[in-house]
Amino acid sequence: MRLLIQYSVLTIIEMLVNALYNVVNGMFIGNVSGEGALGITGVGMTMPNSTIILACGMLVGIGTTANISIKLGQGQREVAEQIIGNNITLSILISLVITIIGLAFKQPILIAFGASEQTLPFANQYITLILMGTVFNVLGYSLNSNIRADGNPLMAAMTMIVGCAINIILDPIFIFGFGWGIKGAAVATVISQFVTALWGLLYFLLKKSNLKFKIVDLKLDLKLVKMILAIGSAPFAMQLATSLVQVISNNALKTYGGDLAIGAMATISSISLMFLMPIFGINQGSQPIIGYNYGARQYSRVKQAFLYSLSFGTFILAIGFIIVQFFPTRIISLFNSDPELMAITVRGIRIYLFMLTFVSVSIIGSNFFQSIGKPRLAIILSLLRQLILLLPLIFILPRFIGLDGVWLAQPISDILAILITLICLVREFKNLKQKELDWSKIND
């Protein structure tokens, strides 16, 4: 428990700080005079693209972190060090692909994401700069994950905190001081991500790390790449599914609620991130512990780490549920004071996050299977909540109950995904118990 707290608390802080990038931008943009409602709606149009960039960061960062932990647990230090070099190269290559494709097809992509004639100019200004900074975003995220695997969660947290602090300081300067509006928010974000990426590089380049970085390790090893992508594919698929759902949701929201409904979803998403990011932090904090103990065949500790993680996550989300259901106006007013937008957002957030308390079962359960090297099952469980169950509900429900159907699709999907995840977890715990018995017999 103490080790889990040591890793998770710092990672929770880090993930909360990461969420603050979107939250702070939304708060400042939403309060720009004469542009607030349309501005925050414009940012909402770019969320699927931002989610894709985050998915790439998770693909490489979580994939490398889990493999580093497993290799260290198996005593293969040199392979763990080689993974760090492959992480850097993969991050850069994937970022370049995203940037080139994004800039080349920017306008049709935004229209597909749900942008209207009124919101397209705002979305275009914001996403252009965000795309140009993709490499800093992905590299910063992945290297930060590696710093945790290197056994320095405090440094990882400090890296994110400094980056976010820079973003918070620069946002009002660029948005209001320079009069750049939504473009200023994007510039502030890219600069802060650059600092985070640079800090991560210097951590390994200046030999302050436990695992040593060597230039020769930048050369991609096909076997290692497959290992990285195999484990990183679960969170990647989840985020990619989230992006697809955001696109479809935006279009459904525009059809049944207009542009302001998309702005409401942007606010709801920012608020939900503040509650969900700690769960992702718990996942990343528990991942090296679960992976190491699984590799070392300490199965009782594997189960213990999961159960502590689940309890911790459920407690945090229960607090979030209380805030959302009983004090929605206070938290939403930080983003926008437009009466019409406020009314839509308050109703939407109460329905959309109704199952918030128990979502930890689905999210932490998926991470558990990812951590023990079962990426296929982890992917399926991730996609259940974010794609397989959710998308049909988004298509069907609004046809009968309008805008409320878009909000209601998420909690119904959550209920079904939680039940299926629980069944898989019970089966896996039985397998771990049998493995533990078999291993003890061999040792005896």
The DSSP code sequence of 206-254 is TT-SSSPP-GGGGS--HHHHHHHHHHHHHHHHHHHHHHHHHHHHHHHHH
Stretch 70-88: mean pLDDT, rounded? 84
Indicate if the pLDDT at residue 150 is higher than 70: yes
CA distance 47 to 113: 9
CA distance 404 to 349: 11
Q: Which residues are CB-contacts of 57 (< 8 A; sequence separation ≥ 6)?
A: 91, 137, 138, 140, 141, 142
Per-residue confidence (pLDDT) for residue 324, from 0 to 100? 94
Residue located via tokens 């969170």: 235
Indicate if the pLDDT at residue 195 is higher than 70: yes
pLDDT digits (tens, 9 = 90+) for 370-385: 888 887 888 888 888 8
Band of pLDDT at residue 154, cut at 50, 70 and 90 = confident
Band of pLDDT at residue 418, cut at 50, 70 and 90 = very high
Stretch 11-37: mean pLDDT, rounded? 69
Per-residue confidence (pLDDT) for residue 417, from 0 to 100? 95
In whole numbers, what is the pLDDT of the chain averaged over residues?
86
Per-residue confidence (pLDDT) for residue 95, from 0 to 100? 95
More confident residue, 279 or 40: 279
Indicate if the pLDDT at residue 289 is higher than 80: yes
Q: What percent of the chain lies above the pLDDT cut of 70?
A: 93
CA distance 251 to 421: 29
442, with CB counted inside 10 A (0-12, 13-18, 19+), is: exposed
Provide the H-helix boundaries in 105-133. Answer: 106-112, 120-132
Per-residue confidence (pLDDT) for residue 376, from 0 to 100? 83
Band of pLDDT at residue 358, cut at 50, 70 and 90 = very high
Stretch 257-273: mean pLDDT, rounded? 88
Per-residue confidence (pLDDT) for residue 31, from 0 to 100? 66
Which two three-digit tokens encode residue 226?
């497959």
Per-residue confidence (pLDDT) for residue 34, from 0 to 100? 57
Work out how many domains the chain is built from and give that number.
1
Per-residue confidence (pLDDT) for residue 444, from 0 to 100? 57
Stretch 252-279: mean pLDDT, rounded? 88
More confident residue, 221 or 409: 409
Per-residue confidence (pLDDT) for residue 270, from 0 to 100? 84
Per-residue confidence (pLDDT) for residue 314, from 0 to 100? 95
For 296-299, the CB contacts below 8 A with 24+ separation are: 296/73, 296/74, 297/435, 297/439, 299/432, 299/433, 299/435, 299/436, 299/439
Stretch 47-55: mean pLDDT, rounded? 87
pLDDT digits (tens, 9 = 90+) for 294-328: 877 777 888 888 888 999 899 999 999 999 999 99
Stretch 69-94: mean pLDDT, rounded? 86
Stretch 120-142: mean pLDDT, rounded? 91
Domain that holds residue 389: 2-443
Q: What percent of the chain lies above the pLDDT cut of 90?
A: 33
Per-residue confidence (pLDDT) for residue 114, from 0 to 100? 83
Per-residue confidence (pLDDT) for residue 198, from 0 to 100? 93
Indicate if the pLDDT at residue 178 is higher than 60: yes
Worst-scoring range by mean pLDDT, 51-55, 58-62, 206-210, 303-307?
206-210
Indicate if the pLDDT at residue 245 is higher than 60: yes
Stretch 205-223: mean pLDDT, rounded? 82
CA distance 279 to 117: 37
- Go through the chain and tell me how many residues it has: 444
Per-residue confidence (pLDDT) for residue 62, from 0 to 100? 87
